[in-house]
Amino acid sequence: MARPLTGTTLVIIVGALLSNTSSRAQVQQQPQARNETQSQNFQDHTITVSRGGETYAKPDLGILLMSIRSTSPIADEAVAENGRKAKDVEAGLAGLGFSSDGYKITSVTFGRGGGPPFPPNQSQITAYEANQTVYVFFQGPDLNDMAQLTQKSAAVIEALRKAGAVPAAAGNFFSPATTVQNALIVYTIKDSDPYEKQALQQAISRARDAAQDIAKETGVTLGNLRTVNSTFLYGNSYGPRSGSAALEGLRYRWYSTKSDEVEIGASATVNFDFK
């Protein structure tokens, strides 16, 4: 029998993480939730529940990561050398049949390079280092044939190596805590909006169902919906934070090391009145 509520109000907060079930389908919604925790207190006469939702999409773009680096005791020389390498990289990619929209070279970042670190009160610089990142894009038939992708990416790496570029693992761009720090190729979705909507819809539906279950179990009647707050929280290996792209200069939001799966996850918190 439900315990009567007298002179109090109820808020039940249930947080949940989602399962990381893998999928090979174009889009697959998973019904299972990750391990759940819950807490409750008495306030505002509301039931508040958080749940997550996720969709799985087949990547339609692969991105090979390369880096151009030049070091010199003279700043101008480091920048000029990097510029020469960038032109050689463009020529090498053109020779392999890549058009200008088949790759992207970022602007130069500039810093200190070479020599041991100096004490905070010593500003001496032994060398300057110029850096640029090269993104080479693979799509269409390349993503449907892994043997073809492997062969083509190996040819690109060799051509760019001769031009002065080196492989740039994803760990150069993401926290070392991610599982992609040694990845040379990452995969993404060019248009993620439909998948994000599906993930949010699933999260909201799960949260609404959980709120109804809690109301039933506690002997109250679920009332009107007050608010819905939703955010994107995670992906296969990493997802966006504050809506920003993870790779500098690219507009894509979700990345994965899996050639056949990008996971897009969302969280929704619903707030209901109860009677």
Tens-of-pLDDT digits for all 275 residues of the chain? Answer: 433 333 333 333 333 323 333 332 232 333 333 433 333 333 568 899 999 999 999 999 999 999 999 999 998 999 999 999 999 999 999 999 999 999 999 999 888 765 555 455 555 657 899 999 999 999 988 999 999 999 999 999 999 999 999 988 554 444 433 444 456 899 999 999 999 999 999 999 999 999 999 999 989 999 999 999 988 766 554 444 333 345 778 888 888 888 999 999 899 999 999 88
Asked if 105 and 134 count as a contact pair (C-beta separation under 8 A), the reply is yes
For the structural domain made of 67-166, what CATH number should be given? 3.30.70.2970
Q: Could you give the angle at which helices 146-162 and 75-95 cross, rounded to 10 degrees?
A: 140
What architecture is domain 11-57+193-236+262-274? 2-Layer Sandwich (3.30)
CA end-to-end span of the chain, whole Å? 17
* All structural domains of the chain with their residue ranges: 11-57+193-236+262-274, 67-166
Per the CB < 8 A criterion, the answer to whether 127 and 72 are in contact is yes
One-character DSSP codes across 134-182: EEEEE-THHHH-HHHHHHHHHHHHHHHHHTTEEE--GGGTS-TTSTTTT
